[in-house]
Structure 1
Amino acid sequence: MGEIHDLHCTKCGYGIKANTGIGMLYSPENVFKDKQFLLDLVDDTKIADQTMDLLTKGYEINEDYGHAIYACPNDFYLFDKFYFQLKGSSKFEPQYPCPYCQTTLKRLTFAKGSPRATRLRFVKEPEKYWHCPKCGNDELNEMAFGNWD
């Protein structure tokens, strides 16, 4: 079951309402055998085409896939994108460009913040934390939380 996070900067209110995880319809057979389903998730024909091509070449789907929170490492705007990884002779994962500066977005994970606040850190750069693109603050309030299916 997926989660819905409604996150807002503790100082200026900038935020995102993001879905994370997967729902019941997100079996590998549904996501990676039906190009249209995958295209709806990634919203990028090139990514969907490349994924389908690699799967026909024997690449395997990593079990860790689903909606995730991403940020631009330059301007720190937040986005909700679909994450997955394929393994074969090399690894493949979708590369999403920032719509503002074209830098490749990076996936975030939740990190401990102060009491009643959370922080986000970059998955592949654990020492780097997200900070608000509007005011520079690095803590978020979870205004609402829920599950989706």
Structure 2
Amino acid sequence: MGEMHNLRCSKCGYGIEANTGIGMLYSEENVVNNFLADLIEDSKLTNQAKTLLKEGNRLNENYGHAIYACPNDFYLFNKFYFQLDPTEFVPQYPCPYCQTTLERVTFAKGSLGTTKLKFIEEPKKFWQCPKCGNEELNEISYGNWD
């Protein structure tokens, strides 16, 4: 089951409404055969993934919607994460503002009532609001989706 997050900077209100995880229709077969182009939303990446799938790669079981951030300017995005094995292909989404490759972020403990986002590949690096530089977010609303 997926999760819905409405995250807002605790100082200036910048934020994102993001879905994370997967729903019941996200079987490997459905993702590969029916949803891939809509989930990736980038024809070049879709074609690259489809070519690798035709060559015998398989969708790794760790896939779903994820929150991404630009490590350069810190804007947030909701993108689809997946990996194809055995090539270990992972989509490289460019930031639309600076073209730096976006990186996945995950939740980290903030002060009472807030959360932070930290970069998965660099766990000591935390997201900062691109508007005001603050690190803490309020979760305005949360829910499950299927």
Aligned partner of 1:117: which letter? Answer: T
The CA distance in 2 between the partners of 1:10 and 1:84, in whole Å, is 31
Given the alignment of the two structures, is residue 59 of structure 1 paired with residue 49 of structure 2, yes or no?
Answer: no
- Counterpart of 1:94 in structure 2 is 91
- Aligned residues: CA RMSD: 0.8
Aligned residues between the structures:
146
TM-score by length of 1: 0.95
- Counterpart of 2:43 in structure 1 is 45
Given the alignment of the two structures, is residue 18 of structure 1 paired with residue 18 of structure 2, yes or no?
Answer: yes
Q: How far does residue 116 in structure 1 lie from its aligned partner after superposition?
A: 0.8
2:121 corresponds, among 96, 121, 124, to 124
Q: How far does residue 57 in structure 1 lie from its aligned partner after superposition?
A: 1.3
- Counterpart of 2:78 in structure 1 is 80
C-alpha distance after superposition, 1:84-108 (max 9, x if no partner): 01112x3101111111011110000
Q: How far does residue 62 in structure 1 lie from its aligned partner after superposition?
A: 1.1
Given the alignment of the two structures, is residue 107 of structure 1 paired with residue 101 of structure 2, yes or no?
Answer: no
The CA distance in 2 between the partners of 1:41 and 1:91, in whole Å, is 19
- Counterpart of 1:142 in structure 2 is 139
- Counterpart of 1:2 in structure 2 is 2
Give me the identity figure in percent.
68
Structure 2 stretches of 5 or more lacking a match? none
C-alpha distance after superposition, 1:105-143 (max 9, x if no partner): 000001111111000000111111001000100000000
